């Protein structure tokens, strides 16, 4: 993500993607619910450390943050978990 304000906007999307309440996310991140509210509102008086705690909690829960490009803005997605098929080494399990 390019800026702290872009990260703050994306955090709400990450929480929604996981179906977490603000309180649940706050508990996972080790911050107060009010901090999560202030982050999601994009308030400027939030410590960067608090934003990083929330981002880390979301990433640990499977959220991937996608940087903006010329074609699209920043976003969030669920990180792809490797399936059993992905874990078979090349050349094995064939034929």
Q: CATH fold of 4-79, please?
A: 434 Repressor (Amino-terminal Domain) (1.10.260)
Please tell me the predicted confidence (pLDDT) of residue 84.
57
Please tell me the predicted confidence (pLDDT) of residue 6.
78
d(CA 85, CA 51): 36
Please tell me the predicted confidence (pLDDT) of residue 61.
94
Domain range list for the chain = 4-79
Please tell me the predicted confidence (pLDDT) of residue 7.
79
DSSP secondary structure of 18-86: HT--HHHHHHHHTS-HHHHHHHHHT-TTS-HHHHHHHHHHHHHTTEEEE---SSS--EEEEPPPPPTGG
Report pLDDT digits (tens) over 74-94.
888 998 775 555 555 555 555
pTM flag (> 0.75): yes
Give mean pLDDT in consecutive 10-residue pieces for the chain, a chain of 95 residues: 74 93 97 95 90 94 89 84 57 52
């Amino acid at each position: 993500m390019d800026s702290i304000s872009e990260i703050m906007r994306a955090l709400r999307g990450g929480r929604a993607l996981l179906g977490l309440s603000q309180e649940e996310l706050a508990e996972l991140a080790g911050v107060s619910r009010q901090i999560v509210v202030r982050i999601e509102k994009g308030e400027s008086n939030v410590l960067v450390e608090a934003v990083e705690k929330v981002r880390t909690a979301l990433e640990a829960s499977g959220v991937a943050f996608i940087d903006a490009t010329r074609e699209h803005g920043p976003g969030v997605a669920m990180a792809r978990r490797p399936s059993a098929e992905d874990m078979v080494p090349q050349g094995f399990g064939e034929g």
